[in-house]
Chain A
């Protein structure tokens, strides 16, 4: 079974802090994604990566950056945390096979509170 592990289940940070959310997958997937989930808004894509050192902006990249130095690890960085970034953050990975995107496998999420 695919395992996507997010480093923290709950995290509390202060406004202005630099925040790192880590995600590791164990199935050699090419694609990795970061979403935030807010009530009534569903999952909104922040960034995704289809290969090491490659990244693409999603719907809401402002205030975030990402890093993918190794295939198995995809980090989300909040450069200067603000209260409107309080949310549930979900990481996902998927295989890219024969020109087709495969199902996404999600981690358990990190509930981030910015005070």
Chain B
């Protein structure tokens, strides 16, 4: 069945370093959403990408959707301790079912 693979599972960076997490699907996605879950919290929506090749930015965060709509990435420039948490992608198939990636847990050392 459809699934979304997300890598890496963990990432430890020094504050100020960059961070990237990747999601890949074997089949075309209708759209992809990104969520952040702080330790002890629940997932919070960050952004949705719909168009092929779409790139969106939120301050230090850059989100990309691949040309074939099968992969996506989230890049954080110059990480801060407030970026700590688990980042999930969620791919939508056939406009009716979401599959979440397994998440990338980011730890930022001050």
Contact = CB atoms under 8 A, between A and B. Distances in A.
Given A42-B88, A42-B102, A99-B95, A59 B43 contact: no
A28 B44 CA distance: 19
A43 interface: yes
A108 B43 CA distance: 9
B42 A103 contact: no
Given A40-B9, A42-B88, A43-B88, A103 B45 contact: yes
Interface size class of B (residues with CB under 8 A): 20 to 34
Contacts of A50: 96
B85 interface: no
A106 B44 contact: yes
Contacts of A44: 100
Contacts of B90: 43, 104
Nearest to A38: B102
A105 B45 contact: yes
Of A42, A44, A99, chain B has the most CB atoms within 10 Å of the CB of A42
